[in-house]
Amino acid sequence: MNEKIINELFSILNERKKSSEEKSYTSHLIKNPELLAKKIGEESSELIIDFVKKNKYGVINESADLIYHILVLWMSIGVKPEEVWNELSSRKLRSGLEEKKNRGLK
């Protein structure tokens, strides 16, 4: 994923959230957290379905939709992309299996 593209999109969405709900879907989602949560669930499910079907084009489109909704979610609670990048960076030297073991996950 190109960090620059995500940062640019986040900046654009930050401007759109200032618009009225009637003019901006982003603003509408931010003002309706239940709808935003529902959309993330829908996009996740659609991504999984396309993955299982081995539908590469569908996976690309649904991934883009999910990333958009995740960015809106971040924005709605004050998370900046660089905070997520920092968390990812802190994990790069840790084994995923060891991380899950330490958290009691399977």
pLDDT of 106 reads 57
- pLDDT exceeds 70 at position 79: yes
What range does the domain containing 85 cover?
Answer: 3-103
Here the tokens at position 63 are 């991934």
pLDDT of 33 reads 96
Spatial distance between the Cα atoms of 65 and 8, rounded to a whole number of angstroms: 16
Q: Is 104 helix (H, G, I), strand (E, B) or coil?
A: coil
Number of domains into which the chain is organized: 1
Cβ atoms < 10 Å from Cβ of 49:
13
DSSP letter assigned to residue 68: H
Here the tokens at position 91 are 């994990």
pLDDT of 105 reads 64
Here the tokens at position 67 are 């990333």
Q: For position 87, which CATH number holds?
A: 1.10.287.1080
- pLDDT exceeds 70 at position 90: yes
Average pLDDT, the chain: 89
Spatial distance between the Cα atoms of 81 and 90, rounded to a whole number of angstroms: 14
pTM as predicted: 0.82
For 75, 79, 86, 103, the CA distances from 13, given in Å and listed in that order, are: 8, 13, 21, 34
pLDDT of 58 reads 98
Spatial distance between the Cα atoms of 66 and 72, rounded to a whole number of angstroms: 10
pLDDT of 94 reads 74
